Amino acid sequence: MGKRFLMTHSLLSSWMWAMKENPFEDMTSEKDSLADFLSTLRREPIPTTEAMQKGIDFEDLVTDIMLGRGDASDKWYEAAYEVASIVKGGQLQYRAAKEIEVRGRKILLYGRLDALKAGTVYDVKFSGSYDKGKYIDSTQHPTYLTIVPEAKQFTYLVSNGSQVWKETYLREETADIIPTIEDFLDWLVQQELIATYEEYWLAK
């Protein structure tokens, strides 16, 4: 078996963000989206921001509620309970992978799904500034629907701590992720970053 390279939606997302935000930025400046992408490419640990911590805390509360140990006095309890009710009975934190070939490379598309249940992939988001359609350009649902071909749809369960909104994407209306991966690999080659990718993202 030849070498395989991991590909995650986070890596693609980081790249797309860099392209969208700052396409002409050089790669030396600090704290810009391209620098952030390069950090992701080198798999450097990302410091947990306050927003990230809120998301983690909310997901933990959802899990605790499902395990029957959720703190009912928590300010987010009602919203987390609503999310827990939706994903209850499904597989939480389900790891899935699918091998594909792109530009002559064996790519292992990998994802950790928040929940998988009866043909639906769920992802829990905590967002203080949610607008319906926020995830329309996300690489997450195209990636995960490729990884789990039996899934019919992908639903983002978005909460601000008091309300819960559902944003669903059906398989038939979801764009193929392969062209994005092709563009990404082409860009890495052009920017002479392909070796960095192959070094840090080599799969077992």
Binding region for other proteins (CB under 8 A): 6, 20, 43, 90-91, 94-97, 99, 108, 110, 116-120, 130-133, 136-137, 148, 150-152, 160, 162-163, 165-167, 169-170, 172-173, 200-204
153-159 and 120-126 beta bridge pairing:
parallel
Dihedral angle over CA of 142, 85, 67, 77, nearest 10: 100
What is the smallest separation between the CB atom of 6 and other proteins, expressed in angstroms? 6
Give the nearer residue to other proteins in terms of CB position, either 48 or 89.
89
User: Min. distance of Cβ 3 from other proteins in angstroms?
Assistant: 10
- The secondary structure element, H or E, covering residue 185 is helix 178-190
Of 65 and 108, CB closest to other proteins: 108
Task: Give one DSSP letter per residue of 118-168, joined into a string.
Answer: TTEEEEEEE-SS--TTTTTT-SHHHHHHHH-TT--EEEEEEE-SS-EEEEE
Nearest approach, Cβ of residue 1 and other proteins (Å): 11
Nearer to other proteins by Cβ, of 30 and 149: the residue is 149
The dihedrals phi and psi of 186, each to the nearest 5 degrees, come to -60, -45
Nearer to other proteins (CB atom), residue 1 or residue 30: 1
What's the closest the beta carbon of residue 149 comes to other proteins, in angstroms? Answer: 10
